[in-house]
Amino acid sequence: MTELHPDIDRILITEEEIQNRVAEIAAEIDRDYRNSGQIVLIGILKGAFIFTADLSRKLTVPHSVDFMSISSYGDSAISTGAVRLILDLRKPIVNQHVIVVEDIVDSGNTMSYLYQTLMGRKPASLRTCTLFKKKRNSLDVPLDYIGFELPDVWVVGYGLDYADTHRTLPYIAALKKEVYS
Ligand code: IMP
Ligand code: MG
């Protein structure tokens, strides 16, 4: 077994488990949008860029891909609740079937902001997809496609970072608590 980076506590989800689950989500979306014509996937940068790419390549329904970039104010491991739009879509989504693709939902503030913002643009429909979700109770936004539930620890890999590091790991790993707290 290859050695883990010293910041990493343990691997939570293997590369194979992630790839299998992404294929299952793609199959679900294929089924749900079989008769919808062209749909739009909106990947949320930077964290969801790898998930969006893999999901897109596994979908068989016709779709386009666009991106938005969102930033939370403040420290990278503590969400203050304030969300800021850094980069907007290239094209309008009015009358389009849209799926917003996130890496991870924690407090839900980011997804809630995205949901409100995108609904305001009058798409034909809007669904949410996140590969990971931490176990919290009070989310005010519907999550239509969820890959995995995770414990309340900071995770990295498969696009997710800590201070812009560890994004390219093919698996999901928990950081050691002393690294981020
Ligand atoms: P929320 O707004 O509290 O739901 O936080 C969502 C955003 O925080 C995600 O889009 C991620 O960018 C980031 N985030 C939350 N938890 C983690 C984590 O464990 N690792 C990496 N990024 C995370
Ligand atoms: Mg994110």
Which pLDDT belongs to residue 135? Answer: 82
C-beta 131 within 6 A of ligand 1: no
d(CA 130, CA 47): 11
Mutate to test the pocket of ligand 1, among 67, 110, 130 (most ligand atoms within 8 A of CB): 110
Which pLDDT belongs to residue 79? Answer: 61
**Residue 106 annotated to the active site:** yes
Which pLDDT belongs to residue 181? Answer: 87
Which pLDDT belongs to residue 74? Answer: 55
Q: Which residues contact 68 (CB under 8 A, 6 or more apart)?
A: 42, 43, 44, 45, 85, 87, 88, 89, 114
Which pLDDT belongs to residue 7? Answer: 95
Which pLDDT belongs to residue 139? Answer: 79
CATH class of 14-152: alpha beta
C-beta 175 within 6 A of ligand 1: no
One pLDDT digit (tens) per residue for the chain, 181 residues: 568 999 999 999 999 999 999 999 999 999 999 999 999 999 999 999 999 999 999 999 999 999 999 987 655 566 666 888 999 999 999 999 999 999 999 989 999 999 999 999 999 999 999 999 998 767 789 999 999 999 999 999 999 999 999 999 999 999 999 998 8
CA 37 to ligand 1 centroid distance, Å: 32
Q: Are 159 and 51 in contact (CB under 8 A)?
A: yes
Which pLDDT belongs to residue 76? Answer: 57
Q: Which of 54, 103, 106, 161 is catalytic?
A: 106
Which pLDDT belongs to residue 104? Answer: 96
Q: Which residues contact 46 (CB under 8 A, 6 or more apart)?
A: 69, 159, 161, 167
